[in-house]
Amino acid sequence: MTIAALVAAAPLRMGASGDAVKQIQLALKARGYPLTGTGYFGQQTDAAVEEYQRRAGLPVTGVVDAATAELLDRPVVSAPPATPLWLAVSLAHLGLKEGAGNADNPELVADIQSVARDYQHDATPWCAGWVSFCLSRAGEKPSSRPLWALSYADTKAEPVVRLSGPALGAIAVKIRNGGGHVTFVAGRTRGGALACCGGNQNDEVNVSPYRPDVFLGFFWPKGAPLPATVGITPLPIVNAAGKPVSSEA
């Protein structure tokens, strides 16, 4: 039975379960998404559906409706997505900002609270909370200290492994005054800087350039398939939206 037939009675969304969900997960897995066919529509499946809809030019709802199902029923002809799902989650939230003045952005606070229940106000540094949120949404285990940026460089206590250099989606950790900063490698600039997508970068989620040598190291979620390439040169040259540019000219 086709996925379109399975969702004909009602679209499927987060919280659903059963064979229809399993078929959706397997169709997404065939397109390179890290799903295993559990039959439960959880956060990881929701994030994968949203990323698939974004890449396909569909409304990004996370709901498998008739239009999404019809595309999933088509033969797989495209290459698997090159963007790790946790990075895709971060890129999907570009422009998410702190609230103005003393106000909080309720969406931002709720996202961080999903991994750090005690988080109350977006005036509190949230770069690590953002990385933790994105990893959790992608089905990866975040740091046990989700608001502590430097915890992502602790390979002994936390679920990360060190890479020999930057890679697309790598967790990049640096020291700053008063603590640290953590972000995701989204590519590189024409000038040779790393383009990193993270939170609390000028009080918002954005793609910002950083010199490669400012980072303590580059890390990867333990248990996730390791990147195929490591190093600055293999990284795509991207613009401020994290999208690859056509040439180095």
The structural domains of the chain, ordered by start, are 3-72 (1.10.101.10), 85-221 (3.90.1720)
Nearest to 150 by CA among 244, 58, 215: 215
pLDDT at residue 77, rounded to an integer = 81
Interhelix angle 19-29/43-56, rounded to 10 degrees, is 50
pTM for this structure? Answer: 0.90
Which residue type, as a one-letter code, is found at position 28? L
Residue 34 CA: distances (Å) to CA of 48, 52, 133: 8, 12, 17
pLDDT at residue 247, rounded to an integer = 52
Residue 132 CA: distances (Å) to CA of 106, 126, 135, 192: 17, 10, 5, 27
pLDDT of residue 81 exceeding 90? no
Lowest-confidence segment of 26-35, 132-141, 202-211 by average pLDDT: 26-35
